[in-house]
Amino acid sequence: MVHLRIVAAEGEVGDVLELLEGSGSVCNVVLLEGAARKPAGDVILADVAREDASVIIDDLRELGIPRRGAISMEYIDTQISAAAERAVKHAPGLPSDAVIWEDVETRSEEMTELSATFMAFMVASMLLAAVAILLDQPVLLVGAMVVGPEFGPLAALCVAIVERRNRLVRRSLTALAVGFPAAIAITLLATLAFDGIDLVPGRFDPEEHPLTGFISNPDLFSVIVALIAGAIGMLSLTSTKSGALVGVLVSVATIPAAANIAVAAALGAWGEAAGASAQLAINFSAIVIAGVLTLYMQRRWYLARRAKHSGDPERLAAGLAQGRGPRGGVVAGSGAPTGRDAPREG
């Protein structure tokens, strides 16, 4: 279940209550009249089945709630309620398969921030990967993969492509375009420093490190692993399965490949650097392709669910038009008037 806290301005409460009380996927509706002070208005609390959370939030957006009020959302870990059980049964699908698009969008925005923290993680993870390559230690390499923050902008790029959000595309590409070259350059300088003070093992051959050599030797399995990791990563993002996301981070050698470019370039092994560059390009491309396809299929299911919901009685009771699509668009072929311009029933 998902808990909603809605701040509704004067004159909007009636439509919101009609919508929430009429929906079989909503329960535990509470009205606190005049409780909101900034902005002034009424506070409405409600619990909604996860499967229909985005559908209900889209309806609230159509009612114009965010313009003068607010919609807040939080997850309910445990709830003992017969009404909640009925709401979950009423909503189509399974809670574990549901995608709350507002949550995905918010987290995508956060993951594309080109902050000092993001850069610190990029540099730290790449330096750790460089040491792992120099020592030929796969355990350290796994640590570098987990620490690396690069999957955030990659996942946000997939979301931006599917939802056609140009600003988020630019932010994601900027984070990747700045983060990787800067971290590679710092790692290259660090490797030169390691070599200058004789920290590079004397027996180390840049083109022969058997335990970590897969980083610079891409093959068909590299493509397969990256495609699977991209799909799982997107599923973990949309379903908030953090354990699966950790597995994705361990599976994808983006940070190690970038670190290997720096190490190989610093030691003059240009063939090794070229192989690592190819590995990095394969991972980037495969992750984005798999992520976009996965998210696109989830989005199509949601749009179909939204279109089916457009004619539900609670929408008409709340003054919302039949044929309305997500984010205020008209469902294709409906020909219906939109939003609050539509005539009310009765």
Q: What is the pLDDT of residue 187?
A: 96
Residue pLDDT, tens place only, 281-309: 999 999 999 999 999 999 998 888 888 88
Please check whether residue 255 is in contact with residue 267, taking contact to mean a CB–CB distance below 8 angstroms: no
CA distances from 289 to 49, 106, 286, 296 (A): 31, 22, 5, 11
Would you place residue 246 in the very low, low, confident or very high pLDDT band (cuts 50, 70, 90)? low
Residue pLDDT, tens place only, 258-279: 999 999 999 888 888 999 999 9
In which residue are the tokens 């560059």 written? 277
- Domain 2-98+310-341, CATH among 2.60.40, 1.20.1630, 3.30.70, 3.20.14: 3.30.70
Q: What is the pLDDT of residue 105?
A: 86
Domain extents in the chain? 2-98+310-341, 104-302
Q: What is the pLDDT of residue 341?
A: 37
Integer Cα distance of 205 and 266 in angstroms: 13
Integer Cα distance of 97 and 202 in angstroms: 53
The DSSP call for residue 211 is: T
Which range scores top for mean pLDDT: 18-27, 144-153, 207-216, 325-334? Answer: 18-27
Which range scores top for mean pLDDT: 22-26, 216-220, 250-254? Answer: 22-26
Residue 237 pLDDT > 90? no
- How many CB atoms neighbour CB 51 within 10 A? 23
Integer Cα distance of 154 and 232 in angstroms: 13
Please write down the long-range contacts of 61-64, taking CB distance under 8 Å and 24 or more positions apart. 61/327, 61/328, 62/320, 62/324, 62/328, 62/339, 63/12, 63/15, 63/16, 63/19, 63/318, 63/319, 63/320, 63/340, 64/12, 64/340
Q: What is the pLDDT of residue 184?
A: 96
Rg (CA), the chain: 25
CA distances from 111 to 37, 76, 80, 107, 156 (A): 32, 23, 34, 6, 7
Residue 248 pLDDT > 90? no
Residue pLDDT, tens place only, 8-55: 988 889 999 999 999 999 999 999 999 999 999 999 999 999 889 999
Residue pLDDT, tens place only, 168-215: 999 999 999 999 999 999 999 999 999 888 888 776 676 677 767 778
Residue 343 pLDDT > 50? no
3-state secondary structure of 204: coil
Residue 322 pLDDT > 90? no
Residue pLDDT, tens place only, 106-128: 888 888 888 999 999 999 999 99
Q: What is the pLDDT of residue 336?
A: 35
Integer Cα distance of 56 and 271 in angstroms: 55
Average pLDDT, the chain: 84
**Angle of helix 101-111 relative to helix 53-62, nearest 10 degrees?**
90
Residue 314 pLDDT > 50? yes
Q: What is the pLDDT of residue 251?
A: 54
Share of the chain above pLDDT 90, in %: 46
